[in-house]
Amino acid sequence: MSDGFGPDNLPYGVFTLARGERRLGVRLGNGVVDLSGLGGLLATGSLNPLMAAGRQEWTAAREAVAAHVASGPPVIPLRDVTLHLPFEVADYTDFYSSEHHALNVSAILRPDSPGLSPQWKHLPIGYHGRSATVVVSGTPIVRPTGQLGAGEFGPTRRLDIEAEVGFVVGTPGRRISTGEFAEHVFGVTLVNDWSARDLQAWEYRPLGPFLAKSFATSVSPWVVPLDALATVPAGRQDPEPLGYLRPAGPAYDLRLTVEWNDTLVSTPPFASMYWTPAQQLAHLTSNGASVRTGDLYASGTVSGPGRDQVGSFLELTRNGTEPVKLADGSLRDFLENGDLVRIGGTARSAAGTQISLGSVSGTIVA
């Protein structure tokens, strides 16, 4: 786990020592470097004031942090700290931007009319989620209850994950063009959008996900600054999107991993997403709606073309009809109580090295 947390990365997090106050830190190897002694926006115990300050301040802070790290500061072992939500979440939006995922889900759930919905390649589809239930990695996930169908209320029997990449808004804005993406987005965090498929199937047509996804969304304790990441060209889009969605902006070659009780079950490739994060932000604000500091928008489930590249267990097990065998020999369709899911990720850094995005994990409890 210490791999990929060198000076090319320096993701921000918020930590406490036993009974201490919250402090801002960066991950270095298997530990945390305390930034509170650097003063200014780094001494507030929260990432939000720095995120609100804008790109010039982000660059200056990253330079100051890099110089501090190079000076050989104390590194507090991870086992001695408690990690908290790395930023105060304002609004939370979730997109649906993997074509592979959309096609898989459609074929599995709607075999009579498989395919993309008519608007899918014209706009990045999304829905507004519940920011109050965004929790930090390691928080136990209580199995949600709800309506499973007509006249039936109880604990979900189809508890699932969605492996996603989250983008954290720093500078507020509205009508943000794709070219302004890097002026507004501070960084990237891993997201697990836990989903109760039975609640979802019953509640979501025609208005979309509601209680099936609002009970919990987990994020990594680390926000990797956009500046740390190498970009790659975005993929081709056909039909050409409307002007406000052009140019597509940068894409990122992030490679995710999904572990189910320590068995690696999937490796979703973020580079295969259809809509870019710049297009998602442009669309989100295209009606005049504002975004503010701490807004989190997630990419949507990341699924690649391969069966071993899917970002949900709905896809991995074909809606439970083809269970997967874990390393201990047990078979799984959906999540059982006591199951642990960990989503990890790696990226190419702007310096050309491989860096880690950390991980987001959660254990299911009754």
Ligand X SMILES: O=C(O)/C=C/C(=O)CC(=O)CC(=O)O
- Give catalytic residues, as residue numbers: 101
In whole angstroms, give the CA distance from residue 198 to residue 177. Answer: 38
In whole angstroms, give the CA distance from residue 222 to residue 237. Answer: 31
**Residue 8 makes contact with Ca ion by CB under 5 A:** no
The least distance separating Ca ion from the CB of residue 47, rounded to whole angstroms, comes to 23
**Residue 209 makes contact with ligand X by CB under 6 A:** yes
200 annotated to a ligand binding site: yes
Q: How many CB atoms are located within 10 Å of the residue 128 CB?
A: 14
Q: Which is nearer to Ca ion, 44 or 106 (CB)?
A: 106
3-state secondary structure of 283: helix
Q: State which of positions 91-130 bind Mg ion (CB under 5 A).
A: none
309 annotated to a ligand binding site: no
91 annotated to a ligand binding site: no
Report yes or no: 157 and 274 within 8 Å, Cβ to Cβ: no
**Residue 94 makes contact with ligand X by CB under 6 A:** yes
Rg (CA), the chain: 20
With CB under 5 A as the contact rule, the residue among 27, 101, 213, 283 that binds Mg ion is 213
Phi, psi of 54 (to 5 degrees): 100, 170
**Residue 284 makes contact with ligand X by CB under 6 A:** no
The least distance separating Ca ion from the CB of residue 281, rounded to whole angstroms, comes to 17
164 annotated to a ligand binding site: yes
**Residue 96 makes contact with ligand X by CB under 6 A:** yes
279 annotated to a ligand binding site: no
Size of the site for Mg ion (CB under 5 A): 4
- The one-character DSSP state at 320 is T
**Residue 301 makes contact with ligand X by CB under 6 A:** yes
269 Cβ neighbours under 8 A, 6+ residues apart? 253, 254, 255, 256, 302, 304, 309
Q: Are strands 340-348 and 255-260 parallel, antiparallel or unpaired?
A: antiparallel
3-state secondary structure of 229: strand
Q: State which of positions 100-119 bind ligand X (CB under 6 A).
A: 101, 105, 109
In whole angstroms, give the CA distance from residue 296 to residue 189. Answer: 9
Q: State which of positions 56-115 bind Ca ion (CB under 5 A).
A: 94
User: The tokens of 337 are what?
Assistant: 């109580």
Phi, psi of 134 (to 5 degrees): -80, 125
Stretch that binds ligand X, among 93-101, 147-155, 329-337, 340-348 (CB under 6 A): 93-101
In whole angstroms, give the CA distance from residue 121 to residue 350. Answer: 30
Chain centroid to Cα 145, Å, comes to 24
Report yes or no: 354 and 347 within 8 Å, Cβ to Cβ: yes
Size of the site for Ca ion (CB under 5 A): 3
Q: State which of positions 158-187 bind ligand X (CB under 6 A).
A: 162, 164
With CB under 5 A as the contact rule, the residue among 48, 104, 217, 349 that binds Mg ion is 217
User: The tokens of 100 are what?
Assistant: 């592979």
Q: Which is nearer to Mg ion, 217 or 359 (CB)?
A: 217
Report what 194 binds from Ca ion, Mg ion, ligand X, none; CB cut-off 5-8 Å by kind: Mg ion
Report yes or no: 309 and 270 within 8 Å, Cβ to Cβ: no
213 annotated to a ligand binding site: yes
Report what 209 binds from ligand X, Ca ion, Mg ion, none; CB cut-off 5-8 Å by kind: ligand X
217 annotated to a ligand binding site: yes
139 annotated to a ligand binding site: no
Report what 315 binds from Ca ion, Mg ion, ligand X, none; CB cut-off 5-8 Å by kind: none
Give the x/- contact pattern for Mg ion in 175-194, rule: CB under 5 A. ------------------xx
Give the x/- contact pattern for Ca ion in 158-197, rule: CB under 5 A. ----x------------------------------x----
- The one-character DSSP state at 352 is S
Amino acid letter at 72? G
Buried b (16+ CB within 10 A) or exposed e, 246-274: bebbbbbebbbbbbbbeeebbbbbbebbb
**Residue 92 makes contact with ligand X by CB under 6 A:** no
Residues that bind Mg ion (CB under 5 A): 193-194, 213, 217
- Binding residues for Ca(2+), by number, are 94, 162, 164, 193
Residues that bind ligand X (CB under 6 A): 94, 96, 101, 105, 109, 162, 164, 193, 195, 209, 300-301
